[in-house]
Amino acid sequence: MGLSLVHSRALIGLDARPVQVEVHLANGLPSFTLVGLVDTEVKEARERVRSAIANAGLEFPSNKRITVNLAPADLPKDSGRFDLPIALGILAAAGQIDGAKLAGWEFAGELSLGGELRPVRGALAMSLALHRADEPGRPTRLVLPPGSAEEAALVAQAQVFRARHLLDVVAQFLPDGTPEAPAAPPDDTAWARLSPTPPGAREAYADLSDVKGQAAARRALEIAAAGGHSILMVGPPGSGKSMLAQRFAGLLPTMGTDEALESAAVASLAGRFHPDRWGLRPTCAPHHSASAVALVGGGSPPRPGEISLAHHGVLFLDELPEFPRAALEALREPLESGHIRISRAAMQSEFPARFQLVAAMNPCPCGFLGHPTQACRDTPDQIARYQGRLSGPLLDRIDLHVEVPALPADELLLGRAGEPSATVRDRVEAARARAHKRQGHINQKLSGQLLDQHAQVEPAALKFLQTAASRFGWSARSTHRALRVARTIADLAGSESVEVAQIAEAVQYRRALRGRA
């Protein structure tokens, strides 16, 4: 009889929880049993592990009763990440590798039938969890396949080892004094320790200088970037709304290491992490047919949605009224809280969702309401129904509403290029620095007493805001959001207090849609 213990991790949302893979070999009728609340993907590991061990030239104990327990028993396990620890546990229980040497190591990886290791989701989340749980002086080492190991190595001080084949791992844990295991085919990606990868984002954003004209929309984007505000652009087809939105991420400050790790961890969990995007703010642009689950996340086990994949980046929703009503209403809470909690009967998962919403829409179904040369073909009722697809509570949560008019041909063809993104980003970073020095965070997070304390509104400006809120019938949320926008405008101007001019500009960004006025 043999008993072995191998350590791994299971993903529950963005949390990578420790799992102990216990393997017991006993005499009796030959069998291979997996227990521990395992999904179908994990149960199929029996055949993958059996074939991988045999095809690697190792001995599979086919004449034993094999029991594999993934503890804790009440923690759901899915995917093929447990193939490698199960195979190592069987080999350790059979005495082919030294089980004592496995202490202080964690393993994850899917096995092919030939023994090659394949990438798994959530490698960065595993590395982050392991780094937080490490005891001083006793770091745990992580073994992952190519592709996953490079992700995990983004965490500073992480001890990550890359292995291409099962035999690469087995060779490191052979009992002392035993002959070498069969050699794996030579390859540059075999066993190696990876050095932590520092953030070094390259300039990969489209530049704002490509956009000609649209001074009002460019100004609104600068304000949104400086204060972390959400923005809705309304204009006819071809006016440049999508072009502006695609360049918004380039106006935001460079990501710090912690922000880059959080963003990359969510992308890794969804299998959408690319090393060439490391350190760059994501821009997620789901199609307008996306469901509420696709936007906010869901499923069983819960997976992150587009709002979480846009964490510390931009969520661009083009053709906003065409999205399903349920999907749009699901954005209300994340816009306020910066996270999303998905509750299911068996578990709850929480994902970060601190994104900046950039939305675009046509003013009417045909798109030409207010166009200088094209006549609108829609009736007032059709326009009202179209704009009515956006609920008042959702519009209340969008800080800036800006019109993007159609450009005349001469301005489009002969106009001069606007400011580049780098110039605007410098002003954005300066405004954010003023906000952080004053209150410790961006203006979008101001609320309650903090807003009263740090807004520093002059009496005349406060009276002007009261008059505007009463005249337009604003809710308390709309009034406070206008005040936060005015505070950002003042920061961009380098002003310590909010004056009437800044309040007046902020009021202009909360005008109702033309068909709803």
DSSP-derived letter for residue 134 is P
DSSP-derived letter for residue 114 is T
Sign, Cα dihedral of 145, 150, 154, 158? positive
Q: Which residue has the higher pLDDT, 252 or 372?
A: 252
Task: Give the pLDDT mean for 43-63.
Answer: 94
- State the chain's maximal CA–CA distance in angstroms: 88
pLDDT tens string 112-129: 999 999 999 999 989 988
User: Would you place residue 46 in the very low, low, confident or very high pLDDT band (cuts 50, 70, 90)?
Assistant: very high
Domains in the chain, start-ordered, CATH in brackets?
2-194 (3.30.230.10), 208-516 (3.40.50.300)
User: Would you place residue 513 in the very low, low, confident or very high pLDDT band (cuts 50, 70, 90)?
Assistant: low
pLDDT tens string 193-249: 988 765 554 557 889 988 888 889 999 999 999 999 999 999 999 888 999 999 999
Task: Give the pLDDT mean for 348-364.
Answer: 93
Rounded distance, CA 295 to CA 288, Å? Answer: 10
Q: Which pairing describes strands 314-317 and 283-284: parallel, antiparallel, or unpaired? A: parallel
Strand order in the sheet with 314-317: 283-284, 314-317, 356-361, 231-234, 400-403
Query: Counting Cβ atoms within 10 Å, is residue 416 exposed (0-12), middle (13-18) or buried (19+)?
Result: exposed
Residue found under tokens 């996270």: 339
Average pLDDT, the chain: 89
User: At residue 124, what is the residue type?
Assistant: L
Global pTM value: 0.86
Percent of the chain whose pLDDT exceeds 90: 65
Which tokens sit at 377? 């073909």
Which tokens sit at 445? 């997070």
Confidence at residue 373, expressed as pLDDT on a 0 to 100 scale: 85
Percent of the chain whose pLDDT exceeds 70: 93
Rounded distance, CA 139 to CA 130, Å? Answer: 9
Residue found under tokens 């009202």: 384
Q: Would the pLDDT of 449 be above 90?
A: no
Task: Give the pLDDT mean for 282-302.
Answer: 91
- Give how far Cα 466 sits from Cα of 43, 221, 458, 459, Å: 64, 26, 12, 11
Confidence at residue 137, expressed as pLDDT on a 0 to 100 scale: 56
pLDDT tens string 295-331: 999 887 788 999 999 999 999 999 999 999 999 999 9
Pair 102, 3: CB distance under 8 Å: no
